[in-house]
Structure formats: structure tokens, C-alpha cells
Structure 1
Amino acid sequence: MSGGYKFVVVANRLAVDAAEDGGWKRSPGGLVTAVHPIVRRLGGAWVGWTGGPGEAPEPFEFDGMRLHPVGLSEDEVDRYYEGQSNATVWPLFHDAVEQPVHHREWREAYETVNRRFADATAAVAAEGATVWVHDYQLMLVPGMLREQRPDLRIGFFLHIPFPPVELFMQLPRRADILRGLLGADLVGFQRPLAAQNFLQLSRILLGLEPKEESVEFGGRTVVARAFPISIDVDEIEREAADPEVQAQARHLRQELGDRRLLLGVDRLDYTKGIEQRLKAYRELLAEGTVSNDDVVLVQVATPSRMRVQQYQDLRERVEREVGRINGEFGEVGRAPVHYLFQSRSRAELVAMYLAADVMVVTPLRDGMNLVAKEYVAARVDDDGTMVLSEFTGAAAELDASFLVNPHDVEDLKRGLCAALAATPEDRSTRMRAMRATVKDHTVDRWAREFLDALGGAS
């Protein structure tokens, strides 16, 4: 039995977070920014989890959207979310930077929760509706939904990298995951190579015969294509033009003294290359290439998945290295590294972007990396430089940055030194080129292009 919504978004999380007053507030993420206006305009629905364990609240309206919560038990949070999603799939899809952990009960919980999401979606989608499923937590949903509702137009977008064939083949129940994704009419990825990996797997695992960017499966044509995600450029530029934000940026520069500012803004995740970044900076200090009198590193590390042991271990290693650097090279009241293990508001981050001489974005692997694009969008002054990992999706678009191999500490050091030594003319030329790219490829364009390709709502 179908519901009444012609457009349905399905994501692990709802488009809202719990507010301090007991109500709800809009989530700040890029997906919500991109898709919320479409859902609101079409009077659509959003299916997702509230973020906490327990029974799901009743469906409710929020800012023109109908939100349909899916409940997770404490055990399912542990097994489906922190286990299979974030300790198995996440590391495997990020080139096994950390060793993936495999447990049968995690896979069973993943299947159970995906089935619950599919059931909830089938119940709210109107006949012939467009459904857009998002990300690695819900890779079985398209196939499950297709079984129940063959009338639907289903799109799936993967926000993280899709691994090479050799890595994907390590995944237990790998063919089930692939069949789940093939339940969609359109499977979107950040980079073209990811789409090709997916199509190649359809041949190797299922004996299908892909052609360029599509494959026949279940009597349907499934298209696999790259749709690089972006940001709300106008929102970032408005923040950057705010006099209070600009005042915060000036205050930050004054607080840090007459030193050039290197800035890192990352979730505390082992894929982000924070440890390698700190090692490179420590070696530059030890060699005398940079000094505490001339350069300071500010590292914002947003807490993430701290119930997972790998993340607890990472925090200990990072904080130990920060202490070592400050102990060896610092002075009273003048530390070479300012480490902030905390979340910062969008306005505070934009102030930091404006203050930074060099943005350091050096993940070991990243599907896109929107911090890199936010920094570029914020630099309305056409100044500042960026050291950017070759292994981010953003590197293909922001190639006027100083590209580095973050696995190579010497190359990291080279990139940092080159960025610090860049002339005003070089900085301006590079930043103008990157800003033109970011302003042309906005998050709104990303959503429209995906939905146009899907042939659904837009």
C-alpha cells in the first residue's frame, strides 16, 4: 500500500537535530542544505533516524517537510551504526586505512535496519514516486525497496569513496551489497573511477555486462555516474561578509601573535591524516625550516564516533603528539600547536578560514572534502593558500591548490613550505581559479543534476 508523497529522501539521519528546548532544529549538514528546499517545495517526506536509541517518535511536520523517524534500539546502534557501518564499511571504503572489523551479528543488524528503512519508505511513497536514498549506511535499501515497490523511481548517492575491486571483494556478503545498490535506477558517486569500480564489480560478482556507464539488471537499466557534491556558496560568502565574523578573524590573528596561521579543520577520524600532518609540522620545526616565532598550527578536531575503540585510540595518539610538539618547541604563552577537540559553529569556522594563511586539508582518503570548498568560498578577498591531499575528491576540482601525497611526510613538508612561500600574486591567481570553480559547481547544482539524471523531482 503506497502513501501520498511523490518525493521521498531516505538517509541515516533525519534533516533535524534535537533542540535544547525539547523541539527540533534543522541539521547543518550539506545534504540537508541541498535537498531540504526540494523536499519543501514538493511537499515531500524525509525518512531517517533521530540519532538516539529508542522508539521512533510519531511522524511530524518541520519547515514544510514531513519527517518519518525510524527507531533504533541501543543494540542496533552498536551493531548496525557503530559496528557494520562505521567499523566495517567505512574503513574498507576508505582504502582500509584502518583494518575493517567483521562480525556476523553486525551484518545481520545492518540488514534488519535497512529492511526497516525500506519498509518505512514503501509506506510513505506515492505511486510512481521518486525516492532518493543516501550513503553507505543504507546500501541494501534500494534493492529491498525495489522488491516491494517496483513502481518507484529510485536514486542512490554514495557520499564516501567506493573502493577498488580488490578491497570490495573482502566484504562478507559482498554480492548482497551490490544487488542492493543495483535496486536503484541511478547510482551516484563522487568520482568517475568509483562508478567504474562499481560497474566492474557487477561483471565480476554477478556476471553482468556493463556498457560505459550503465548495466542491465532485473530487466532495468541501472546508470552509474559521478556527481561531485558541493556546498552552499552563497551562505558561506554571506558569513564571510558579516562584520562580526570579520572581527572574530582579526581577533584570532591578534591572539596568535604576528605569526602565519596554518589551519586544519577535520572530524577526528583516522582517514583525515591528522597524525601525518602533525608529524610533518614537527619535523619542519625540528629542522628549523619553520619556527614557533613565525608559524602556528591551529587544529580543530570535531569529536566523532567516540564509542568506537579505533577513534578513542586515535584521540590518544593525536593528543600525545600535540603535547610532544608543544613541549619541545613551545614557550610560555606561545604554543606552536593550538588543538581544539570540540565542535565549532559555522560562523566561527568561517572566521578561522578568513584568518588562515594556509588551509591544510590532507586526508589519506576522502570522497570529496567540503571543508576545502568552504575555505575557498570564504576567501572573498582572493587571498590564502591551500595544501590539499591528492586523495580527496576535491583535488580534481581544486587543482590550483598545492597538491600533496599525505602518505609521504616529505611531500607534505614540501607542500606546506611551498604554500607558506607563495607570493601575493601567486596566492591570488590560485584562489581566483578555485573560487570560479566552486561558485560554478554549487550544492544546488549537484542536487538538480542528480535528479535530472534520475528523471524525477527537481
Structure 2
Amino acid sequence: MSKAEFVVVANRLPVDHDPDSDSGWRRSPGGLVTALEPVMRKADGAWVGWAGKPNLQVDPFDFEGTHLVPVSLSEDEVQNYYEGMSNDTFWPLYHDVIAAPRYRRAWWDSYVTVNRRFAEAAAEAAAEGATVWVQDYQLQLVPQMVRELRPDLTIGYFHHIPFPAYGLFAQLPWRRQVIQGLLGADVIGFQRVADAGNFARAVRRVFHYETKATGIRVPNGDGTTRKTIARAFPISIDTESYIELAQRDDIKARAAEIRENLGNPKKILLGVDRLDYTKGIRHRLKAYGELLNDGRLSVEDVVLVQVASPSRERVEAYMQLRDEIELTVGRINGDRDTMDHSAIRYLHQAYPREEMVALYLAADVMLVTALRDGMNLVAKEYVASRVDNRGVLVLSEFAGAADELGSALLMNPHDIGGLKDTIVRAVDMPAAEQGRRMRSLRKRVRENDVERWSQLFLSALAKAKEPEVGA
């Protein structure tokens, strides 16, 4: 194939290996894939990523109009680079140390090796003067590595998770290397203004570079400098696709069927999360259990549906979390269930988008209680799906979505008393107030969809290609 003018570099390819399908592959359901799919359709691009299985050697191939460049990882690299450094060091550190991060030199060495492999694949796939867009915390060293290999390229990086305050980031033994890696990009995108601010402070503290709203001056090593932009580009969803699904008769019928199967309660509360300690599932269950014990809610009137999709099942902290949540659910149901009504319907599995939209339509209250979240697209999916302008979004102020979705009921999930009051307020909210709030939320989500996110980021990148005035 000819070289690509636009290259996405992400930890995973946008496909999963599926021996049963005709091509041997099927499209992945992940949020990042959904977010970038419209961009890749329009651009004649290439996507560099891991094929999802260790030791899988696959030549580059085309899939549904996108050229895919698989990067191979060994079993050891999956354990050290991915499960270790990415998910047992960076993930907890960047999410306010909700779980303790572990710093292992062998993990870091593997992280450097794998990042270099991704960078080399991207440099090889890119045409002269092309644009390369690197995605997320697994690949923080790639921007600088690509720049060293291909100084002709324009390089973007988007950080999908929070970037921590310097007091936390300073713990990282390899903080200099990470900042240097990120500064290889021409544009570095974050979910929140606060994240971009945290990054700029880290740059000042570690390297003493000049950081302004107009950009960060990064030395080239030859006495000259170049400018790197670091600012917020909040990610979103393909809003129209959720609206279309929510208007389908079969999905509306499925929503009614879900309500009926749950015993037609007066109110359905819904939580949809990856099974992750950052999502505040424990806090949500504690608040709900106490509301039942206090008599402020009853199982005859209210049910909580908790979808917790499997996540990082080989990482110790996640195994412990699953045990703890399932014990809590069992205890609440054991104490509160009747023959006809269940307190919590707990579903440890992932569902296709159609079923999720039916659940969003069935749910009167959406609970997003994240302790720290880069964005939380579930909040936006729920809002997009509520074509009836009904339903209440209860949203943690520690999710990036809170910056945009101010008409939700915002709360602090660490304040269990406040969370309980907010849930009761949501359950009791009059239809007129629901409509007022939901119309405002839907306006934001429709205006700021995933296409606008990618346009804003890519136009900032295109501007970065232009020579600086007076340079």
C-alpha cells in the first residue's frame, strides 16, 4: 500500500481477532474506536495498534476501508508494558492514587521497548509530511520517538484519562522521560482544562520551560525552540447514532420489556461502568443500600440495575474489587429482596449498543458516581438516548463530563450523605424539571459531538503545521 497521509496510533487496533468471521476480524466495541471511526472513514488513513492477543504475528491488512498495521506483543510484554506499567502504574497514579501505583523497573523497560515498536510502525506507515495522531497513556513516549525518526511529520497526542496534580505525578520515577515523550507532539490534548494545567505545571517544575496559553516553548537541541500546544479538547460520542437507535420501534419495545421483566417498578436506577475502582461503584452501592435501610427508598418501588463489564481481570486490584462488589450486592439483596422484587439486578457482562440504548430508555435515573474519570461517555450516551426529554442524570463532579453537563445533578461521591440526598432528589424530580434539565443537556451533547471533537483537534494540528510568524 502507498503511505498514509493520516495515521492513528493506539494501543489496540479497531478490530478483534475472530476466527469465525469471513475476514477473521470484527470491529471492536470500544469507546476509542467509536470516537475515531468517523475520522478514519473520511481520511484515507492507517491505524497502528496491537491485535489484542499475545504473540499474534499479522501482516498489515485492510478492513472496512482502513489500512491496519498490527504491532505484535509477547506474553511478557502484555504483562509488563500493558498490565504492569500501563494499568498498575500509570492508571492508578493518574486517577488520584485511588489504588496504590507500583513502580517496577522491568515494567518501565518493557514500556520503553513497546513504545519504540509502535513509533517505528507509525514512522514506517506515514507519508512525507503526514499527520500522526497518538492515543492515550499507554503510548506517552511515542510522540518524541516519532519526531526523532520522522521530523517531517505533524504529531498530535490525546490523553483520554486525567493528568494528575504535580504532587502525585512527582512520585513517578520516570517523570522526566514521560514529559519529554509527550512534548514530542505539536498538539497535546486533554479532557479538562484542569488536566492541561496540571501538565503545564509539571513541565515547569521538571524542565523549567516557558509555558503560556499560546503554547510551551520546547528546545530543539540546536539553540532553536518550537511550540507545543497543550489544551483541553473534551471528547464526545457519535450523538446522532444514539438518537437513531433510541427512535427505533424495536428498541423502544425492548425498553418496555426490560421494565416489565423488572416488575414494572416506579423508578429504575441504572449504573453502567467498566468494573474499575475509579468508577465509584462501591460508593453507589453503599448509598443505595443505606437508602433502603433508612426507608427512604423501597424495593417495591425502586430497583438498581448495575451493569459492570469485565475489565483487566488478571490485575489483582480488579479481582479484589469484583469480589467486594459481588459480596455487597449479595448482602443488600439478601437483606432487602422480596419474592416479587429485587433490590439490585447485577450484570457482570458487556452488552451491544442496541441493548444499552434500551436500558438507557428504561432507566429513570442514571448514576455516574466516578471518583475520577477523564470524561465518562456513558453520561453522554444516556443524555443522547433520552429523545423523550425525560430521565435524570446524577453526575460526579470528578468526571470530565461535569465540565460540560452542568444541568445534571452534580455531586461528590465521597459524600455518602450528599449522594443519598441527590439520588432521592432524582427519584422525586417532577417531569417539568426533568424536561428542562434534559433539554439543556441534550443541546450540549448534540452541539459537542465526536465529529466536532476530532475537527477541533485536527484543525489545531493543521494550524501547528503552519510556520510561526516571525520564525
Question: What TM-score does the superposition give when structure 1 sets the normalisation length?
Answer: 0.98
Letter in 2 for 1:232: D
CA distance in 1, matches of 2:383, 2:198: 30
Paired residues of 1:153 and 1:456 also in contact (CA < 8 A): no
Match runs of 1:99-118 below 5 Å: 99-118=100-119
Greater alpha carbon shift after TM alignment, 28-37 vs 202-211: 28-37
**Secondary structure at 2:211's aligned position in 1?**
coil
The equivalent residue for 1:384 is: 391
Deviation of 1:331 after TM superposition, in Å, equals 1.2
Contact 1:160 1:190 in 2 (8 A): yes
- Tell me whether 1:328 sits opposite 2:335 in the alignment: yes
- Matched with 1:289 is 296
SS at match of 2:217: strand
Change (3 A) 1:286 1:20: farther
1:148-170 C-alpha deviation (Å, 9 max, x unpaired): 11111000000001111111111
Residue in 2 aligned with 1:245?
A: 251
Find the partner of 2:365 among 358, 364, 375. 358
Residues 290-314 of structure 1: per-residue CA shift (max 9 Å, x gap): 1111111000000000000000000
Name the stretch that deviates more: 333-342 or 225-234.
333-342
Match of 2:231 among 225, 228, 244: 225
- Displacement of 1:399 in angstroms is 1.1
After the TM superposition, list the runs of 4 or more consecutive aligned residues in structure 1 that deviate by more than 6 angstroms: none
- Residue in 1 aligned with 2:13? 14
Q: Does 1:403 align with 2:410?
A: yes
| Distance 1:252-1:20 versus aligned 2 partners, 3 A rule | farther
Map Cα deviations across residues 198-219 of structure 1 (whole Å, 9 max, x no partner): 1111111012111124111122
Displacement of 1:32: 2.3
CA distance in 2, matches of 1:306, 1:32: 21
Q: 1:331-365 CA deviation, whole Å, 9 max, x = no partner?
A: 12421000000111101110000000100011000
Q: What pairs up with 1:404-423 in 2 under 5 angstroms?
A: 404-423=411-430
Structure 1 segment 53-452 matched on structure 2, within 5 A: 53-217=54-218, 218=220, 219-259=225-265, 260-452=267-459
- Separation (CA, whole Å) in 1 of partners of 2:214 and 2:314: 39
Structure 1 CA distance for aligned equivalents of residues 307 and 250 of structure 2:
21
Deviations 1:403-439 (A, max 9, x none): 1100111111011011011001000000000000000
- 2:36 pairs with 1:35: yes
Matched-pair contact (CA < 8 Å) for 1:131–1:152: yes
CA RMSD of aligned residues (A): 1.5
Paired residues in the alignment total: 457
Which whole-Å CA distance do the structure 1 matches of 2:123 and 2:190 have between them? 24
1:234 is matched by which residue type in structure 2?
A: E
SS at match of 1:455: helix
State how far apart, in whole Å, the 2-side matches of 1:86 and 1:456 are.
Answer: 34
Which whole-Å deviations, capped at 9, do the CAs of 1:252-305 have from their partners, x for residues lacking one?
111112321000000000000000100000100111011111111000000000
> Does structure 1 conserve the Cα–Cα contact (< 8 Å) formed by 2:263 and 2:340?
no
Q: Which amino acid aligns with 2:17?
A: A
Q: Counterpart of 1:264 in 2: which secondary structure?
A: strand
Displacement of 1:396 in angstroms is 1.2
Amino acid at match of 1:8: V
Deviates more, 1:22-31 or 1:312-321: 22-31
CA contact (8 A) 1:10 1:48 kept: yes
For the residues of structure 1 that align with 2:42 and 2:384, how far apart are their CA atoms?
Answer: 26
Deviations 1:139-197 (A, max 9, x none): 00001111111111000000001111111111111100000000000000001111111
Q: How far off is 1:38 after superposition?
A: 3.0
Structure 2 stretches lacking a partner, 5+ long: 465-471
